[in-house]
Amino acid sequence: MSRPIRAIICKSALAHNIQLIQSRNPDKHCMAVVKADAYGHRLNAVIDGLKPADGLAILEIHKAVELRQLGWTKPILLLEGLFHLDDFKLAIEHQLDWVIHCQAQLDFLVQCTAAQVSSYRPRIYLKLNTGMNRLGFPIAQAPQAIAQLDAWAKALGCPSPVLMTHFANADAPTDQQNGVEVQAQHQALFKLKPADWASSLGNSAGALNWSALSGDIIRPGIAIYGASPGPLDAASYGLKPVMEFQTEVIALQDVPKGAKVGYGSRWQAPRDSKIAVIACGYADGYPRHAPDCTPVVVNGQMAALAGRVSMDMMTVDITGLHGIQTGSTVELWGNQLPVDVVAQQAGTISYELLCALAPRVPFTLKD
């Protein structure tokens, strides 16, 4: 028997989440974001469940090619554009669309001739910096960039480009400052957008909290995997967790009151205690900085992390819980315990936990 740890990917949850987001954003195109190996869920495990999406968005061109090899025929968007000039041919060959976020990328593009573009006409997304100050054209330079791209796209017969930006704070819809910022970003974009161009603004937070301001093409990431972009919990949005991260109990210890558990003796038994040792550690992607009392579900019951997370194991206080033995199932996160709860306890966000899932954790699929 191999080590009992596993990540179970639920295809129907993925399809459900995409359809839910689409139902809140009728008449929009949904580009599901699958960067970071589908937020740690692995491209080959999610590809079937992604079918309801209108397209996929990713960073690395070789991963986009992998999506084509996996049979994805609908649009694929490269979210940070082409990193190297050599990638142009590959992008055309595999019918990819891409973002242009700076003048150097645009200068390269507008030199490309119809012959170089050959049979595929890419849809270009021009990214504006509307206040996040990360990627994108500053507003002052945007009119010229838009004119340049528009002329090029028309001359070559490409589809109308898309004007795009990214929300810095869309996860607190009741916060007034948050509302002001989202509105301002939306207005900045729509002041510049040519009538025949489409718009793309909303990430998960935008698509769920600010649907009306999210543009024609939404780009949800975390929500399609069933975790919440905030402020509500995932279940309140109707999202279903796509990943169940499971393991098993591999040993039990009776720990007398006052005895200590694990590295650094961080946890001390407040009473005679029962400790379950489970096969999951930080080398599997569980956060080492999770504090005592972080919830862990053992045999369907809520238990509490007791002591530091080791590389390959964790210790959990199961005092007073029932029916637990070696081989009992443990859920680190999933249906019984939302990943958002674990993330919050560990002082981080679900994105980081999901993306950090280690390659050594085997994946299985379920419908």
Ligand X SMILES: *Cc1c(COP(=O)(O)O)cnc(C)c1O
Site for ligand X contains 79 (CB under 6 A):
yes
CB of 225 to ligand X, least distance (A): 8
Closer to ligand X at the Cβ: 100 or 250? Answer: 100
Site for ligand X contains 126 (CB under 6 A):
no
Site for ligand X contains 203 (CB under 6 A):
yes
Tell me which residues in 215-244 interact with ligand X (CB under 6 A).
219-223, 229
Closer to ligand X at the Cβ: 135 or 156? Answer: 135
Residue range at the interface with ligand X (CB under 6 A); choices 43-51, 214-222, 256-264, 359-367? 214-222
CB of 313 to ligand X, least distance (A): 31
SS3 letters for the chain? CCCCCEEEEEHHHHHHHHHHHHHHCCCCEEEEECHHHHHCCCHHHHCCCCCCCCEEEECCHHHHHHHHHCCCCCCEEECCCCCCCCHHHHHHHCCCEEEECCHHHHHHHHCCCHHHHCCCCCCEEEEEECCCCCCCEEHHHHHHHHHHHHHHHHHHCCCCCEEECCCCCCCCCCCHHHHHHHHHHHHHHHHHCCCCCEEECCCHHHHHHCHHHCECEECCCHHHHCCCCCCCCHHHHCCCCCEEEEEEEEEEEEECCCCEECHHHCEECCCCEEEEEECCCHHHCCCCCCCCCCEEEECCEEEEECCCCCCCCEEEECCCCCCCCCCCEEEEECCCCCHHHHHHHCCCCHHHHHHCCCCCCCEEEEC
Q: Which residue is nearest to ligand X (CB)?
A: 221
Site for ligand X contains 33 (CB under 6 A):
yes
CB of 250 to ligand X, least distance (A): 34
- Assess whether 28 carries a catalytic annotation: no
Residue range at the interface with ligand X (CB under 6 A); choices 10-18, 114-122, 202-210, 332-340? 202-210
Out of 89, 120, 263, 366, the active site residue is 263
Closer to ligand X at the Cβ: 197 or 267? Answer: 197
| Binding residue for ligand X, selected from 41, 63, 166, 186, defined by CB under 6 A | 166
- Assess whether 11 carries a catalytic annotation: no
Tell me which residues in 291-350 interact with ligand X (CB under 6 A).
none
CB of 12 to ligand X, least distance (A): 20
**Catalytic machinery residues:** 35, 263
**Which residues of the shown chain bind ligand X in the complex (CB under 6 A)?**
33, 35, 79, 166, 203-205, 219-223, 229
